[in-house]
Structure 1
Amino acid sequence: MIDHALFDPATIDPETKRLNAEIVAAHAAQPDPWTLPIEEVRARRRAGTQASPAMPRSARAEWLTIDGPEGPLRLRCIRPKPGTKLRGAYLHIHRGGWIWGSADEQDPWLERVADTCGFITLSVEYRLAPEHPYPAALVDCEAAALWLAGKGRAELGVNALTIGGESVGAHLAVMVMLRLRDRHGLGRAFRGANLNAGFFDLGLTPSVRNWGAERLVVNTEDLTRFADGYVREGIDRRRPDVSPIYADLKGLPPALFTVGTCDPLLDDTLYMSSRWAAAGNGGHTAVYPGGCHVFVRYPGAMSERALELIDRFLMALA
């Protein structure tokens, strides 16, 4: 049961309040991203922004290339540092509203998983919308998962497999598990899922619809446009193969759901985690007072607590 006190604004600590104010101010000082031409959007995909800077790249990372549905598919790989016991592999799917982001923009997170948990981490460089709308990103991630569950397991010398992602990466992670279950008979290919601030209902939950214009990382317009860019007009966004919150979730592995109470996607996690539990899959839901969208991207005491819980969850799956 989730403690209702977590949702009391009085429980938000001063550090989190200060961080949230800085994020809102940083976004307000930048051009509205939806006024940019697509050419500039492409250019800025790699540049990051002051409000959400790209993380440092790892000198240890390497690129693996596998066969994808439309040609070569790249996976960013970070192996545990020497002396770390190898426990398995973690398939990561990055955030970015299906139109931003890259597999190399969260290397510090993946280094942490590699070195603390003993997992070889693999982040999928999937195709981005609007140039490549639904289901392009999903079939790329499915191909990566199938490779890892097949010959990749032997090539990497691992047995325990886990999966996870942030925001739309969490959405794609769940969709991948559903496709592996329904199309390939591999419902338990992964031992568990790390699902951070997922975007699980592209029809938009109440917390998204009611959030408004304040851009605390993302706002109502951002999330609406993300869904518009990913899913073509005419496709029912509440189909189970588009929005996993409406899917039959039975037979999936345990999941750790992480979300902050100041995230427009709060309802997505609360609803999905309840359905996950009702399906008998097991897991845990961690709600953090005042946390913005994917708050673990911003250093702080609360982020460290959340990351430590993720570490423990993943290690327990090995």
Structure 2
Amino acid sequence: MTDPHHPHLQSLAAYAIRRGVAPADPLRQPLPEARTKAIAYQSIWNEPMPKGGRHTRHTTPAGTGIDLYIPDEAHGAAPVLFYFHGGGFALNSVETHRRLTRLLAQRSGWAVAAVSYDLAPEARFPRQLIQAQDAIDWLRERAALLGLDGGRWAVGGDSAGANLALAATIARRDKGRSAPALGLLFYGMFSADLDTPSHRTFGGGAFGLTTERVDWFWSQYVAQLAERTNPLAAPLYADLRGLPPQVLIAAGLDCLKDDSVRLADRLTAAGVENRLQVVEGVPHSFMQMSAVLEPADQAIDDAAAALRAVRSQPIAVAAE
């Protein structure tokens, strides 16, 4: 993040240097080292950690981990946002996204279930998607015991996690199962098409995430090249008809920006209600940096407002 024309990049890079950390580089570091460095780098953006609320950890019988945050502001049984963290399917964890998920809970009044899924390449598609569905089903079945509203729920995620959120929604529709009330999709990794204007403009390395790294992430997630167009691995290529409303937030300096732009266009063509917000002047993963970046704090506010609006709407009941 060194481009002098973008002050947000300069301030974020300077802050990381002062804290003595740098982004992970899995293309040039052994994967265990890259994962350790990713956790160290992401940890600086989690400070200060929001206070209050209740935090419990759960594990499904299938082994999927769920970190559940219930805000103090929850009135009655809280609806649930299932959140899937980013990291190209190969890096990060629920821990790297703790500030973001807690702020979403605090500001929306929704409980947030941050889902731990197995990382690639040790686990590949569709393992992560299966775990996403496992977390949704297990927690909703036990919602009343946990003081939650299992009938009102949403999915969300950033980058690879946005991919999982959307793919899980599509898979449930295809099986005739109940749908989330809303999708929150932050700078998603929705396709493996690397020949887009945003990749050509922002993918060289001056803006954080690179096209080369996105290509590497895809090679970890799917075992075969042909799977890069599987609509559940790359949901930009899916039939999008009949999906619930989607809120998309993209970063203006992100090589993945056009994934969100193209998805919004396809959602509109499919008759799906959606709203795309492109936050200019910020890089990929910017919403994790809300402690030092005002546009990130505002974007979290916007996402929380979308959740609050959904809470006031009637619940659509569908058979499981």
Specify if TM > 0.5.
yes
Q: Please name the residue that 1:124 is paired with.
A: 115
* CA offset digits 1:67-122 (Å, max 9, x no partner): 22xxx111001111166454411100001110011112222222222222221110
* CA offset digits 1:19-78 (Å, max 9, x no partner): 212445759966743222233234445x3227x73525677422111122xxx1110011
Give the drift of 1:176: 0.4
Counterparts in 2 of 1:83 and 1:120: CA distance versus 1, 3 Å: closer
State the distance in 2 between where 1:102 and 1:169 align.
11
Whether the 8 Å contact between 1:24 and 1:215 is mirrored in structure 2 is: no
Larger deviation: 225-234 or 22-31?
22-31
Out of 134, 145, 148, the position equivalent to 1:143 is 134
Q: State the number of aligned residues.
A: 296
Tell me, what secondary structure is at the counterpart of 1:33? Answer: coil
Matched, 1:238 2:232: no
Whether the 8 Å contact between 1:92 and 1:121 is mirrored in structure 2 is: yes
Tell me, what secondary structure is at the counterpart of 1:285? Answer: strand
Whether the 8 Å contact between 1:84 and 1:115 is mirrored in structure 2 is: no
Q: Which runs of 5+ in 1 are unaligned?
A: 1-13
Residue identity in the other structure for 2:7: R
Residue identity in the other structure for 1:163: V
State the distance in 2 between where 1:116 and 1:274 align.
29
Counterparts in 2 of 1:110 and 1:85: CA distance versus 1, 3 Å: farther
Out of 8, 29, 41, the position equivalent to 2:34 is 41
Residue identity in the other structure for 2:173: R
State the distance in 1 between where 2:24 and 2:249 align.
30
Q: Which runs of 5+ in 2 are unaligned?
A: 312-320
Out of 289, 307, 312, the position equivalent to 1:314 is 307
Q: Please name the residue that 2:317 is paired with.
A: none
Whether the 8 Å contact between 1:23 and 1:216 is mirrored in structure 2 is: no
Matched, 1:255 2:246: yes
Counterparts in 2 of 1:209 and 1:107: CA distance versus 1, 3 Å: closer
Tell me, what secondary structure is at the counterpart of 2:298? Answer: helix
TM-score of the pair, normalised by structure 2 = 0.83
**CA RMSD, aligned part only?**
2.6
Give the drift of 1:168: 0.6
Q: Please name the residue that 1:175 is paired with.
A: 167
State the distance in 2 between where 1:29 and 1:295 align.
15
Larger deviation: 53-62 or 248-257?
53-62
Tell me, what secondary structure is at the counterpart of 2:228? Answer: coil
Out of 7, 15, 19, the position equivalent to 2:8 is 19
TM-score of the pair, normalised by structure 1 = 0.84
Q: Please name the residue that 2:193 is paired with.
A: 203
Residue identity in the other structure for 1:34: L
Q: Please name the residue that 2:282 is paired with.
A: 291
Counterparts in 2 of 1:207 and 1:229: CA distance versus 1, 3 Å: farther
Tell me, what secondary structure is at the counterpart of 2:133? Answer: helix
Whether the 8 Å contact between 2:203 and 2:254 is mirrored in structure 1 is: no
Whether the 8 Å contact between 2:74 and 2:110 is mirrored in structure 1 is: no
Residue identity in the other structure for 1:304: D
